[in-house]
Structure 1
Amino acid sequence: MKKLILIAAIAIGILPASAQKHQTQNVIIVTLDGMRWQEVFRGADSALISSNFTEDKEEVRKKFWATSAEERRKLLFPFLWSVISKQGQLYGNRDLGNKDEVANPYRFSYPGYNEIFTGFPDKRMNTNDPITNPNMNVLEYINKQKGFEGKVAAFASWERFPQILNKQRSGLAVYSGYVDVNKPDANERIKYLNELQHNVPHYLGDSTRLDFITYEYSKEYIKQFKPRVLYMAFDETDDMAHAGNYKSYLERAKQEDGYIKALWDMIQNDPVYKNKTTLLITCDHGRGEKPLDSWKHHGAEVAGAEQTWFAVIGPDTPSSGEVKTATISYHKQLAQTIAQLLGLNFEANAGHEVGDAVTSVMK
């Protein structure tokens, strides 16, 4: 009888549209630190390939160059442009008039991640130092909701995320830098990764582990612990850009696209996640474009460093592909977007503002 009443209520429109259609039960968030929108939508940059910033120019051209932007971007980001472009949405192609930006004035990592997860471009967060973030973040909020307790985790290559996400206050599972997964029931693969990450060369220094390790941890954690929200933060694109190594910047971007594809394929073959999971991919800030060497940099004084992008795919997101409308979105809107994809409303009890959700990502 209850089932018949429910069906009747949906049929005559008594239940709200969100209750009738909402399918997302899990969210995976991925960030590619400092990845420019220019490469995402245009592919490899011919000026940078021809410059002193690129070694092995002919090899790079063979791997990443094609005559059209559509061909080039698919060579660089095959998952974005063969799967998300058909089944999801991509925002931030300024060549089409669609803009995505950070709202914070600083345009570097800590302020960018604070904005994404707190929905608030806090002018106090003008640092990459290990300062504990006073603002409540959306992962912390979700972790306190019924059915999500202990089901939210973050894996990051850069060591700063325990402060950005205020692990001490939030109680979130945050594994960043060279922090081990210290769960006593961790499987043998995770225990092996705990050992491996300390033994591989620290090419990125002692504060940032290889993105491969971050990906492997995330994958194994999903397999064993079935989190409902997982955040995976890559870093190497930013490192290679700061080093002025355009070849490695492109190679790391393609590699991370491959990690994301493998993760998506895995969850789509897992009945816990299949057709119940939304994936959101973005970055923390943009980079410069002109003069040419400004691609290495970002920050308040770098023109274009506020210009960003994001992509979404999931059961509640219309498959409209590349968004071509002349609108502008801000990263302060992503926290509420993540919450509403899960049927929640992010309310920051610390009293700070929260940007409105990007409602076009939901049916």
Structure 2
Amino acid sequence: MVKNFYLLVFCLISPWGIAHAQKVTKTENVILITFDGLRWQELFKGADSLMVDDTGLIDTPGSLLADYWHTDSKKRREMLFPFFWSTIAAEGQLYGNRLFGNKVDNSNKMWFSYPGYNEVLSGFADDERINSNSKINNPNVTFLEYLNQMPEYNGKVMAFGSWDVFPYIINEERSGVPVNAGFDLAEGDDLTDVERTVNRIQQEIRGPWGGVRLDPFTHHFAMEGLKKHRPKVMYIAYGETDDWAHGGKYDQYIWSAHQTDAYIKEIWDWVQSDSEYKDKTTLIISTDHGRGITKTSWKDHGASVPEGGEIWMMAIGPDTPASGEMKIEGQWNSAQIARTLFKLLGLEYPDNKAGSVIDDMIQ
């Protein structure tokens, strides 16, 4: 009896014991997903009445109306994002509907991609050093790198992205986190049939942009990575919505947004069908920046666009209360994601510059 007592005391006071004693959450795995440049307006109100049938922003007049238009904005958003407004609205949380005073913003004042992704991944804005989209290795340590340094997570952290700057944002060279992004191919001697097929098709279909591949390649590489390598932490960054918007293609923007909702559904359905991940995995989904609200400014973002820092986020998982659309007034920001993610894993975030935990996201 005395022996057992001293063993208990040792476990509680030792570093190993403290780390495990603090683990009160059910989350063992996290998948973070970003959705480049998707506005909160489409997420919470569906297709925009200003643009849904504008012949200057869509190739074929009326092509969006049957699938995405309804006079009721709640119906419109369900048509555009059926997974978000069924499963996540029923079992998780969605933040950022400013009509209720529920505000989510960037902390950085740049309001474009690299600063936005740095903030999401490292937990704080760094406007002095992260102020361009140049391919410069991130001087900041991301939550992915911190986790990859831990024995429990080392070799179990992966990242996939459509934009070819992600290896620099994550600092693949220093962090050791494998990043498949841009036009990278799946590598290794044990490629699956799917990986070989996606490798071939990606080389045959380049897409319309020089530095951003089409999202189907990112998605299927990520899905195979999840099934094959079974990571504990994965980051997936879809990119099409922002590039279609910059090109003024509202129809492509809407179709891509709808398809990404379907991709995220596929990820969640697989997670919930696998015993290693089922009821042990949290999905956090957000964006890197907002964009304008007029027919012209919608194409852009950045410090010159007043709405460029207005964003959103959502979560679903075993520790997140099923509160649905958050209607409480308040202010949140993307700098809070990294520390919240660590808290879900039962860990303390090691950088005191990072934003605070989103308490409502963890019961």
Q: Normalising by structure 2, what TM-score? A: 0.92
Q: Secondary structure at the match of 1:153?
A: strand
Matched, 1:27 2:23: no
Report the AA paired with residue 304 of structure 1. E
Q: 1:358 and 1:242 mapped to 2: Cα distance?
A: 31
Contact 2:93 2:320 in 1 (8 A): yes
Cα-to-partner distance string for 1:273-295 (whole Å, 9 max, x where unaligned): 00000001111000011x43101
**Secondary structure of the structure 1 residue equivalent to 2:64:** helix
Deviation at 1:268, TM superposition (A): 0.6
Name the amino acid aligned to 1:298: H
Distance in 2 (alpha carbons) for counterparts of 1:264 and 1:299: 32
Match of 1:308 among 305, 308, 311: 311
Are 1:262 and 2:270 an aligned pair?
no
What is the rounded CA distance, in whole Å, between the counterparts of 2:86 and 2:22 in structure 1? 31
- What secondary structure sits across from 1:47 in the alignment? coil
In the TM superposition, what is the alpha-carbon distance from 1:217 to its structure 2 partner? 0.6
Superposed CA deviations along residues 61-85 of structure 1, whole A, max 9, x for unmatched, are 1110111111000000000000000
Q: Secondary structure at the match of 2:50?
A: helix
Query: Is 1:158 the counterpart of 2:158 in the alignment?
Result: no
Tell me, in whole angstroms, the C-alpha distance in 1 between the residues paired with 2:88 and 2:173.
36
Could you say which residue in structure 2 is the equivalent of 1:12?
none
2:118 pairs, out of 114, 118, 125, with: 114
C-alpha displacement of 1:20: 7.5
User: Does 303-312 or 49-58 show the bigger shift?
Assistant: 49-58
1:56 corresponds to: 60
Deviates more, 1:216-225 or 1:43-52: 43-52
1:37 aligns with 2:40: yes
Q: Distance in 2 between matches of 1:48 and 1:188?
A: 41
Contact 2:198 2:221 in 1 (8 A): yes
Q: For 1:240 and 1:345, how far apart are their aligned partners in 2?
A: 38
What is the distance in 1 between the residues matched to 2:23 and 2:285? 26
More deviation in 35-44 or 186-195?
186-195
Q: Alignment partner of 1:58: what SS?
A: coil
Aligned residue for 2:107, secondary structure, equals: coil
Query: Unaligned regions of 5+ residues in structure 1, if any?
Result: 10-14
CA distance in 2, matches of 1:181, 1:50: 39
Select 1:252's aligned residue among 229, 253, 256: 256
Q: What is the distance in 2 between the residues matched to 1:20 and 1:355?
A: 21
Is the 2:53–2:62 contact (alpha carbons within 8 Å) kept by the matching residues of 1? no
**Cα distance in 2 for residues equivalent to 1:281 and 1:331:** 11
Give the match for residue 15 of structure 2.
none
Q: Are 1:171 and 2:176 counterparts? A: yes
Q: Which residue of 2 aligns with 1:359?
A: 359
Q: How many residues align?
A: 348
| 1:21 and 1:316 in contact (8 A); partners too | no
Identity %: 42
Matched to 1:168, the amino acid is E
Residue 181 of structure 2 is aligned to residue 196 of structure 1: no
CA RMSD of aligned residues (A): 2.0
From 304, 317, 331, give the equivalent of 1:328: 331
Question: 2: CA distance between counterparts of 1:160 and 1:141?
Answer: 20
Partner deviation per Cα, 1:32-66 (whole Å, 9 max, x = no partner): 10000000000001111243213323221111011
2: CA distance, partners of 1:315 / 1:226: 19
Cα separation, 1, equivalents of 2:118 and 2:101:
26
Corresponding position of 1:141: 146
C-alpha distance in 2 between matches for 1:19 and 1:275: 19
CA contact (8 A) 1:159 1:208 kept: yes
Flag the 1:23–1:246 CA change in 2: closer, same or farther, 3 A.
Answer: same
Structure 1 residue aligned with 2:343: 340
- In the TM superposition, 1:9-24 aligns within 5 A as 21-24=24-27
CA distance, structure 2, for counterparts of residue 345 and residue 113 of structure 1: 21
The answer (yes or no) to whether the contact 1:204–1:239 under 8 Å persists in 2 is no
1:92 partner letter:
G
Deviations 1:152-191 (CA, angstroms, capped at 9, x unpaired): 0001010001110111110001110111222333333223
